[in-house]
Structure 1
């Protein structure tokens, strides 16, 4: 226990307030302990007092009618600051501290008093449980009665502490609920100001909240789309797909994202982007899902229109390639001595057309099976004419794949068309068992492409001069892609090593990762 003489009254008042004991006497919660104290000590009066700044109130009283008395005439005010746990006054009429008290000199003529102090969990004395008799008792209390009064004081504080703990819990809950309510109100206010539709679900996917924007968009009455009612807002063709994706997210906890058509209040269907993320507790369990629906109808229509325009342009460009090839063929028929050059030129134009159609197909039917941003896919399409029946391609592509776009597709097509054409005329592909291995390796910001011919005619010497095809390779790799070219004329076959900056393969510069 703290030194009671040094405890400020405001500290005691704050602790007393924490017990909120107003009207406690009427509940009778401590009457049994007071009655037992009177029975234990054989006195007609027993009290449980709470000593406040100016008065003492009685939380339980046996044989005493007053609800409170002044503190300056309180025995318990002395008992709670006494040196011993129990203060015993054998005869108050002979004790100079108490002989002038009205309750000693007048009714009920207190003579004997014994009080055990009540101490809070902080060590602050609050009052006492006491027994009183109008008869003096020179012998005081027996050891059994003394110990029993101490135990009763502990029992009183146990009950008061239970009440305090309950009050603190209720206040904590109330404060928590208030914070939650305030947070909920803030969230709803924020959600209602957002341009997106906002919704939330329970962990099992039951929809229990939509913001004002949702009801404004759909025109539905509040609460009418709770639970599974929201699925009826989807376009019929999108319902199964949306439900399957949503169930997958609920099962796996993966983020939810999908585009679907949602019924507008005017009866039309508009494209929206639906997204949702799970909220997890400290143990990782999903406690709620929060999602949004963003109206993307205009953007969707604009993309579709742009795709139509892009396909039309691609179709016209492909026609231009065909016209040019036709003009070359017409010129070759008129000038037979030009036929060999014309054939090479037409092959190059065809390679350009294949590269263009790979990255910019003019229709859904012409869309390649491989990914349109894939270097391996582009090369596989370009080398398709070199397939040898059931044996498959004679040019094998391996290594790291790299994203490509229409900017790099043209020079890449020219470069490898020339290498493949030369290999078919003079190199590995001119022999029955000859083959080529093309590998790609991504190292930081550079990509190395290695063309390696094997099992073709042995090379006896390095060519004395570079032909037009070699010049095209240089033009494509160095000038258009910003790379370097190295040739190694090995006896087993030509090896060409091309180093190209990663940024040259696709837009935006430097952001395309190797896969």
Structure 2
């Protein structure tokens, strides 16, 4: 039987908690018989066990789904024996998708549960917002349906599952049932021992078949990290004879520059039990080295002890080269933009020399262009050698660059305190114009125009907004506020209000200006906006 669709005529329809129901197998099974079978499995020891959690982790990864569950459908409720991606313990049976899937002979897929009339008003469509469902039935030896191994997504999937994913769910469902059989009492376990061994052997064969058909290189190790299995894709990629990379010999196919780093990361995972993930160069069969992404997860027994490690290597060479090429192009583009700032500044300088009466205006304009250039240079892509000391998404770092011309040492005349805020290239331009204008005015007329004067800039991040308080101290004595409405005031208004979407409040003290700008947090970076 192939994959089951969401068509009501193809999927077994089960009403909540029936006294007896007829499934796709054509058998009539009453709830009393299901209850007896469930009770015989002694499931208390398996609820939320590490062994079953490893299966849901692998199912979620295999199907690229945010949620994977092993469910047990009882008379009125549905319990989760294991769950990945949710803290829920279970649901009502009336809301259960698995109460449909468990009657089927094969994997059931609902590409968009919101479009299925059987699920109108289902609470799970609202919270957590389920749209896609795929489940492999969990059926006891005597044919009694128990629940399902399923994966959920919050977006519909018209394409359903791939053949590999369907096969994987079947194999994993077989492993779930093997775990359930193992939880029965000693007498029942002895009676089923022969069948369990055959099921385990079949599961191992199916796993190896599944692994050999995967596009990734698949490998496994003993708990101490000894490599004892590689799939066909590994030997095809590396060109190594079968068995030649067992044990520690696998490190020999890494690029010499990556071997020590790869060993260090792998040993850390072995000692800590944490997931393994690293990018390194692997020698291809043609003798070249290609970038791959290595990942591994531990498999644990019910006591939490690691019994095996399963890992994959994915060829990412083309993506890696593309990223490097984009970085080079981005750096070259940023370099050219910086040159444009320099050319514009030079043109203004030459124009001022030809027209001395415009020298003051030209100098102010050049300084603004230079400030914009400094802001762009701070946020642009950099090489490892040219990258600024402070993070390029740092507001404090940008302000340090802008204020450098006004003080001999950091914080000497202009002190920046308070919270740091993440910024990006979009916010750099208005921020550069705003604070360059404030610093320039302070150096001409305000606190920075006298030796003892200084400026304090306090940054305070609140709930959804950032408060920037510019306070000049010990400047020239003011008997009354200076006249406003000039170009500088208009530029501050343009930057803070129109470009950053903030609000500006000014007040004048006897020793200088106090200006408070309140800006919405999303205006500082695209990441904050999402």
- Is 1:409 aligned to 2:425, yes or no? no
Aligned to 2:485, what secondary structure does the other structure show?
coil
Secondary structure of 2:369's aligned partner? helix
Is residue 502 of structure 2 the alignment partner of residue 472 of structure 1? no
Deviation of the 1:350 alpha carbon: 0.8
What's the offset of the Cα at 1:361?
Answer: 4.2
Cα pair 1:434 1:454 within 8 Å, conserved: yes
Matches within 5 A, 1:71-150: none
State the shift of 1:352 in Å.
0.7
Note if 1:423 corresponds to 2:445: no
Q: Structure 1 residues 217, 366: closer, same or farther in 2, change over 3 A? A: same
Paired with 2:339 and 2:529, the residues of 1 have a C-alpha distance of: 33
TM value normalised by structure 1: 0.62
Alignment of 1:81-480 (within 5 A): 170-361=190-381, 363-389=383-409, 392-480=411-499
Which of residues 501, 513, 527 is equivalent to 1:482? Answer: 501
* TM-score, normalization by structure 2: 0.61
The 1-side partners of 2:397 and 2:302 are apart by 45
Q: Distance between the aligned counterparts of 2:365 and 2:209, measured in 1?
A: 68
Q: Is the 8 A contact 1:357 1:366 kept in 2?
A: no
Aligned mates of 2:497, 2:186 — CA distance in 1: 81
Going from structure 1 to structure 2, the CA distance change for 1:435 and 1:198 (only over 3 Å counts) comes to: farther
Task: Tell whether the 8 Å contact from 2:459 to 2:466 is kept in structure 1 after alignment.
Answer: yes
Point out the more displaced range, 313-322 or 459-468: 459-468
Indicate conservation of the 8 Å contact 1:384/1:393, yes or no: no
2:510 counterpart of 1:494: no
SS in 2 for 1:383: helix
Corresponding pairs, count: 346
Indicate conservation of the 8 Å contact 1:373/1:405, yes or no.
Answer: yes
Q: CA–CA distance in 1 between the matches of 2:399 and 2:276?
A: 35
SS at match of 2:279: strand
Please list the CA deviations of residues 391-443 of structure 1 after superposition, one character each: whole Å capped at 9, or x if unmatched: 75432223332222211111111111111111222222223233222232332
In structure 1, distance between residues paired with 2:480 and 2:492: 20
Gaps of 5+ in 2: 1-184
Instruction: Spell out, residue by residue over 1:420-472, the C-alpha distance to the aligned partner (whole angstroms, 9 max, x if none).
Output: 11122222222323322223233232222222222323443223223212211
CA-based RMSD: 2.4
Partner Cα distance (1:487, 1:353) in 2: 28
Q: Secondary structure at the match of 1:452?
A: strand
The verdict on how the C-alpha distance between 1:356 and 1:470 changes in structure 2, with shifts beyond 3 A counting, is: same
User: Any conservation in 1 of the 2:327–2:381 contact (CA below 8 Å)?
Assistant: no
Q: CA deviation at 1:168?
A: 5.3
In the aligned structure 2, how far is the partner of 1:500 from the partner of 1:178?
A: 67
**Residue number in structure 1 paired with 2:98:** none
- 1:271 is displaced (CA, Å) by 0.9
Q: Is the 8 A contact 1:259 1:271 kept in 2?
A: yes
The higher radius of gyration belongs to 1
Give the Å deviation of 1:477.
Answer: 1.6
C-alpha displacement at 1:300, in angstroms? 1.0
With over 3 angstroms needed to count, the CA separation of the structure-2 counterparts of 1:254 and 1:167, relative to structure 1, is closer
TM superposition shift of 1:170: 4.0
For residues 277 and 444 of structure 1, the distance between their equivalents in structure 2, rounded to whole angstroms, comes to 38
- Is the CA contact (8 Å cut-off) linking 1:451 and 1:495 kept in structure 2? yes
Indicate if the aligned counterparts of 1:310 and 1:362 stay in contact, CA closer than 8 A. no
Give the SS at the match of 1:500.
strand
1:279 shift after superposition? 3.4
